[in-house]
Structures are given as C-alpha cells and as structure tokens.
Amino acid sequence: MRTTLVSGGFLTGSWSSWELVGEGGFWLSGAVSRPRQILRWVPAGVLITLALASLFPPTTALVLVQLIAMRSLLALGAVLAGAVFLAVAGGLWWRARRRAVQSGEGVRRAGLRTGVVGMVLLLVAGAHGGVLLARGVWESPVAADHAGAVGVLNLNTAREGVDVETVAGLADDAGVDVVVLPETTQRYGQHVAEALKASSAAKDGETFAVFSASGMPSDLAERGVGLESDPVHSTTVLLSSRLGEYRQVQGPTDTGFGAVRLEPADGDGPVIVGVHTYPPVSGAMAWWRSSVAGVASLCSHPPAGLIVAGDLDATRDHAPLQDLGGCASAGEQAGVGGLATWPTATGTRWLGTTIDHVLVDDGAWRGSNGRVVTVPGTDHRAVVVQLAGR
C-alpha cells in the first residue's frame, strides 16, 4: 500500500486502483465513487437522448406527431435551451476556477455535464435548421408564363374566411391555372371564378371551371351530420380553360374530406387532384393516418403528369409522406418547402409547420418558382408554385 499526500488529500491504493480523497478532493474511481459518477450523468444522458430522438421520432402517437410537425420551433427551442445550458456551465466553471485560485488547488471539471448537454442541444438545433434550409426558405417570383408551364395556387380558406376578391387577386397576379381551395364550397368557388373572369378580361377570354367534392368520416355521416352544413367538409378546385376541357371523375375515398379528381376529356393533359386530409387530433388519429396514407398512395404509381395539391395536415417528416414514390414536393423543388404554411399566428413563415403541399409527377414536372403568402381571413398561408415541364 502506498500513501502519498496530494494537494490536501491522499493518493492511496495500488497503481492499478487508486483514489483521491481528503479535503477538496474527489473520487476518481473505487467501489463507491464510480456508481456515483455514473448516476450523476444519468439526467444529462436522458436529456441528450431526448434531444437526439427529436431528429428521428416515431410518428404514430398524437404527441409525437404534433411535436415533429413543428421542426422550426424545435430548432428554436433547442437553440435557446442550449444557450442556457452553456451559460450555466460557464458560470459553474468560472466559480470553480475562482475557488481553485484562492485555495491553490487545480480546477475541477465543474459544469462538464451541463456543457455537454448544451453542446448537444446546439448541434440538434443545427440539424433541424439544416433540414429546413435544405427544403427551401427562399421565395422566387411567380408570374404568368404560359410557355408550357402550369401555375398552382393552394389555399385552405378556413371555412371560406378569406375574401373572394383576395383569392381572385392572388390567383390573377400569379397567373395560375389551377386553384385548390380546401374548406371551400362550390358556391364560393363560383364567386372566385366570376371574379377571375372579370379580372382576366384581357387574357384572351380565359375562364375557370369549378369542381367540388365533399366527404367526412363514415361514423359522422351515420350521425346525420350534413356535408353542406360546414365548408370544412368540402374541397373545391378551379381550372383554367387554357388547360383544355376537363371532367370530374370519382376521386379517392380514403383521403379525408372531399377529394376532387379531374382528368382531361381528350386524354391529353395532367391528372389533377385536390385533397384535404383529416387532422391529427385526439380521437381522429386513425382517420389521419389512413387519409394521409391515401394521398401518398396516389404517388405510388402516378398517372403521367399528376398534380396533387391541398391541405395534407402532415409534413414531410411524418411517416406517410417521407417516401413520395414517383412524386416530388414541388414546393421543395421551388425552394419554399421549409417555410411554414400554418399557423399564421406565429407571425412569421419561419416558425410553424408545412402542411399545405403541391406534389407532382417527378418525371413530368419540376417546381421552378414558389411563394408562401400570408392571406387575411385564414390561419393557413397560400402556396403558389410554378411548374415547368421536364
């Protein structure tokens, strides 16, 4: 047994197993100290595990679905929490250093665990932010371009809370050919079409045909809830005469509130589908999963030129939309896939979630330009995308 005085303590034990004890000392090893050291890392390990899990969470439970949908808020929260942990770690280290200077002892690893947690949180925030940047947060002008391009406007009107003239003005300014309006009845769509006809008088007599469909969960229908009693049950699509004559066919029945499927009368042109899935709220998770999966299934073997637009109540992080099959997110291609489309209450497109999408046949279209526009009267932002043919 060797016994040596070290900085007010004693180094005792053999060379293979030694302990630093005494006043101002700390356990480096030993039967009692090692478990204590490990236990002190448990809270830090739990926080680190939760932070890393936020990057790849399962998306089946209600809370997790809501959490990962707000990736921008996760990034902001991780930045703020990481900064706080690092500040606390710095304070602990500085206090330990002052004590060490006064006592003449070496500086202990004060604040190490807190600092490690802070660094991990900042790295996680960077990862979340990197995903959003990769999906696109930079807008580009969308203007009328009828040289083979197709413009799409997608806007949930929040039970027709948006002024008709506002919708028509936005569509006219961007020169879009397809207008998809979830939570909107055919009557409202007709008013928008009339406003567009008046504003487009100089555009070679361009007009817009109006198509609509309604739907709801079967158990609600069995309770006698009327489809026309609430615009939330309806989806309406306006189509420019420039695309030619279209007919409405039976849309998919597993995609939530009314799905509008439009096919060219002569077989020459893109298939267009307007959708609105069920929301991921308590008591409706099964409906949500099946309806979003129903939309994604449209892209498993998409018809040539397919364009799907609407409020999907899901982000690209949710399991059903992670693999788009033969489709691509036109918003991401156009550089706006990382901007929040809901809710507008955050006051900025940098915070929120991207649940309003335009999905296209990746072999036929590419999103070339895009905008995410705040519109009065709704808690959703409009997505305007210009599609260029490949």
Q: Are residues 202 and 327 in the same domain?
A: yes
Query: Is 269 contained in some domain?
Result: yes
Is the residue at 97 inside a domain?
Answer: yes
Per-residue pLDDT tens digits of the chain, which is 390 residues long: 444 444 444 344 443 343 333 333 333 334 447 777 778 888 999 999 989 888 876 655 566 778 888 999 999 999 999 999 999 999 988 888 787 776 655 555 668 899 999 999 999 999 999 999 999 999 998 886 667 899 999 999 999 999 999 999 999 999 999 999 999 999 999 999 999 998 865 567 889 999 999 987 765 555 545 555 689 999 999 999 999 999 999 999 999 998 999 999 998 999 999 999 999 988 888 999 999 999 999 999 999 999 999 999 999 999 899 999 999 999 999 999 999 999 999 999 999 999 999 999 999 999 999 999 999 999 999 999 999 998
Yes or no: say if 273 and 260 are a contact pair by the CB < 8 Å rule: yes
Six-digit token string for 228: 């026309």
Same domain, 271 and 177: yes
The sign of the dihedral angle between the CA atoms of 142, 145, 148, 151 is positive
Within a domain: 19: no
Give the pLDDT of residue 200: 64
pLDDT at position 94 is 86
Alpha-carbon distance 62 to 54, whole Å?
Answer: 14
Same structural domain, 204 and 256? yes
Pairing between β-strand 178-182 and β-strand 381-389 as defined by DSSP bridges: unpaired
- pLDDT of the residue at 68: 83
Q: Has residue 34 been placed in a domain?
A: no
* Beta-bridge partner residues of 209: 239
221 and 78 share a domain? no
Q: Would you say 178 and 236 are in contact if contact means Cβ atoms under 8 Å apart?
A: no
Q: Which CATH number do you get for residue 350?
A: 3.60.10.10
Contact between 156 and 183 (Cβ < 8 Å): yes
Q: Is residue 140 part of a domain?
A: no
Shared-domain flag, residues 186 and 249: yes
Q: Which of 231, 233, 234, 236 is nearest to 248 (CA)?
A: 236
8 A C-beta contact, residue 341 and residue 352: yes
Considering the domain architecture, whether residues 217 and 366 belong to the same structural domain is answered as: yes
Question: Rounded CA gap, 212 and 235, in Å?
Answer: 6
Domain of residue 73: give its range: 54-135
Of 100, 135, 170, the one marking the end of a domain is 135
pLDDT of residue 143: 80
pLDDT in tens, 273-292: 999 999 998 888 899 999 99
Strands of the sheet containing 327-329, edge to edge, are 246-249, 257-264, 272-276, 307-311, 356-361, 327-329
**How many domains would you assign to the chain?**
2
Q: In this structure, are 253 and 372 located in the same domain?
A: yes
- pLDDT for res 174: 93
| SS3 (DSSP) at 385 | strand
Give whole-number Cα distances, 361 to 18, 38, 269, 273, 299, in Å. Answer: 67, 53, 12, 12, 7
Strand order of the β-sheet with 178-182 is 208-214, 234-240, 178-182, 150-154, 381-389, 365-374
